[in-house]
Amino acid sequence: MFEGFSQYTIDFMWNLRFNNNKPWFEEHKEEFRREFLTPMKELGGEVFERVKEACGDRGFIHKVSRIYKDARRNHSDGPYRDHLWFSIERPSEEWTSTPVFWFELMPETWSYGLGYYLAKPATMAKLRARIDKDPKKFERLVAPLAKQEEFVLDGPEYARKKESPTPVTALWYNKKGCSLVHNQENGPELFSRKLADRLVSGYAFLMPLYDYFVTLDSDPTPVERLDIKPTGKREQTDGLSQN
């Protein structure tokens, strides 16, 4: 059962940031396991089980990230991450383009929420097509977000704005990818069981949006359209193009 992180967890992350090399890490590996990895696994495991109990089994799995960076990349700042995260998601070969719940702990801050690491252009095109088909339904889905202060909508936007059906849907319509995220500076809540309660409550609140997003890839590809330029030439565009 998760009992909280500790100040030793925060201290370890800071020390690793400034001593990101194999000799230091090997000397402090047991500290990493005891103060960082173990409580992260305990938190992820407990939250995972409680979310399944509260929201039903959606075929979720949960994962805890590795401290080691991808060996195929150049690591000029060191071979280790100074942060860890866990995710709750459905199994997928392309996890970066599917919606996931996550919690991440860094030396300065922690965050959690629901979203895409790297949404496909096709997925966002299908979201726009759904909004076009029934904007009022989507507005009802996202209406609870306007009544809370825990999560904010985040994600890169198109430089050239797309024309959305309504002002409310415009917030989503122009996203290249989207996440609902809470960011907070590290503090006392990290050191108690209240953190697990908060994550479970937050994920349950976001579950209707997860259910909506996770089915987007099964939608048909938006129908291509032909735009007429002033020259009279036809330019073929589709819902997957990014301006």
pLDDT in tens, 74-130: 677 899 999 999 999 999 878 788 999 999 999 999 999 999 999 999 999 999 999
Q: Which CATH number fits domain 7-220: 3.30.9.10, 3.40.50.300, 3.30.930.20, 2.30.40.10?
A: 3.30.930.20
Give me the pLDDT at residue 225, please: 45
Distance, in Å, from the CA atom of 163 to the CA atom of 146, rounded to the nearest integer, reads 22
Write down the mean pLDDT value for the chain: 90
228 - beta bridge partners? 234
Residue 239 has pLDDT above 50, yes or no: no
Average pLDDT of the segment spanning 217-239: 56
10-43, pLDDT tens digit by residue? 999 999 999 999 999 999 999 999 999 999 999 9
pLDDT at 236: 41
Banded model confidence at residue 234, pLDDT cuts 50, 70, 90: very low
- Give the residue-averaged pLDDT of 64-73: 87
pLDDT at residue 243 above 70? no
Confidence of residue 196 (pLDDT cuts 50, 70, 90): very high
Asked if residue 233 has pLDDT above 50, the reply is: no
